[in-house]
Every structure is written in structure tokens, then in C-alpha cells.
Amino acid sequence: MVVEDEPNIGALVRTYLDRAGYRALWVRSGEDALVELRRHPIRLVVLDIGLPGIDGFEVCRQIAGTVPVIMLTARDEEPDRVAGLEVGADDYVAKPFSPRELTARVKAVLRRAERVDQREVLSVGTVTLAPAAREVRVDGGEIELTQREFDLLEYLVRRAGQVVTRDELLERVWGYLAPGETRTVEVHIAQLRKKLGQPGLIRTVRGVGYKAAA
């Protein structure tokens, strides 16, 4: 969730997070942030300090410990950065920031925050994935996948039974918007099927996309 009252910055941050494969919800005030946090399974909050109504510090004070927070601070305002960390922020990014830097911070904070999920195991049929360890097993035997193949398989397995389009895969797994470059997806799917040795696990839904199913 992005909490930012400046339209340009809010839109920019959301766009970059979407491109990085996250689904970003953007709200414009601290009050809205507190309401939306209760309504959605938010994994991380990017929080501006200067907001209409209750400010970022107060929001952070209320939510710290329940969800990771990255504060957006004004450059060279050391007191803001220190205060942000004191009220429980996990990290901060100084304005003006590069969207890439922010995305990198988001990834790093999520990685740290979600270590508790290290034991998570996903499975479809005889294929099991341990995302934290990045291990894939077929019938109990480990197989080697490239990073992209793993991400692709994880994306499909997390949505087992649902059809996923090639454009969605490009956007979410490759992290950029390149509709039309679906050949890339097809090549990786073919490779993945070969390595899994289970051609039926990732099904082609003609004219639409793919579906992982047991």
C-alpha cells in the first residue's frame, strides 16, 4: 500500500511497484491508510510523512509491528529519518528518490519480513515448491530450474486451477509491460514442461494462456 497525497508521486510509485510484480493500493491520507489496512491483506506500506490529517509518523506509530513500513522522507532531513526509524519504520527512502531504488528497498524489506514464511510449501499433483529455499521437487526428487523458470512455475502454482494469460505472465514474472512478446513466455513454458517431465501439469488454454492443474 502506498500512502502519498501528491498525485504525481503516488501514481509513479504505484506504476513502478506494479511493474515489479506487486499489486499496489494507493491511498492519499493516513486515515484512509488505517481503514484500508483492515480491509486488505497488505504486505508492506510505503508511507509519506507529510499527509493531510494524521501524519506519517502517527500512522507508523499505530501500525508498526503489524506490517513492514518504508517511510518517504525529505532529503537531508535527518531528523525525519531518525524519527521514522524511532516510530518503528523498517527503512526509509529520501525524496526525490529513484523509483528503482524504492522498488529495491521494497524487495529487501519484504525478504526480511517474510522469513517467517520460510517453511511454506506449494504443491500441484506430484510437484512441490519451497519458495524460500527455491527448491522444486517432482515425485520427491529435486530438479534444477533457472530463476525465471522458478518464478514462472511459482506464479502458476500459486494460481493453480486458474487461467493465467501470457500478458499477465510477462508483466508479473518478467516485471515489465511488453504485450506481444508472448513468444518469450511460450519458450519458457516449453522448457519448464520438459524439465518437470509432466507435460500435463501446465496446460495450454487455447487462445487464452496457461493453467497449472494436477
Binding site for Ca ion (CB under 5 A): 5, 48, 50
Residue among 83 and 156 whose Cβ is closer to Ca ion: 83
Residue among 16 and 210 whose Cβ is closer to Ca ion: 16
Rounded to a whole number of angstroms, the minimum distance from the CB of residue 73 to Ca ion is: 11
Rounded to a whole number of angstroms, the minimum distance from the CB of residue 101 to Ca ion is: 18
Distance CA 130, CA 136 (A): 7
Residue among 1 and 189 whose Cβ is closer to Ca ion: 1
Nearest to 185 by CA among 170, 203, 163, 165: 170
Contact 81, 104 (CB under 8 A): no
Residue among 3 and 170 whose Cβ is closer to Ca ion: 3
Rounded to a whole number of angstroms, the minimum distance from the CB of residue 78 to Ca ion is: 18
Rounded to a whole number of angstroms, the minimum distance from the CB of residue 4 to Ca ion is: 6
Residue among 80 and 149 whose Cβ is closer to Ca ion: 80
Residue among 58 and 114 whose Cβ is closer to Ca ion: 58
Element (H, E) at 47: strand 45-48
Q: What is the DSSP letter of 172?
A: I
Q: Which single residue brings its beta carbon nearest to Ca ion?
A: 50
Rounded to a whole number of angstroms, the minimum distance from the CB of residue 51 to Ca ion is: 6
Rounded to a whole number of angstroms, the minimum distance from the CB of residue 49 to Ca ion is: 7
Q: How many CB atoms sit inside 10 A of residue 1's CB?
A: 23
Long-range contacts at 81-90 (CB < 8 A, ≥ 24 apart): 83/57, 84/49, 84/56, 84/57, 84/60, 87/57, 87/60, 87/61, 88/60, 88/61, 88/64, 89/47, 89/60, 89/64
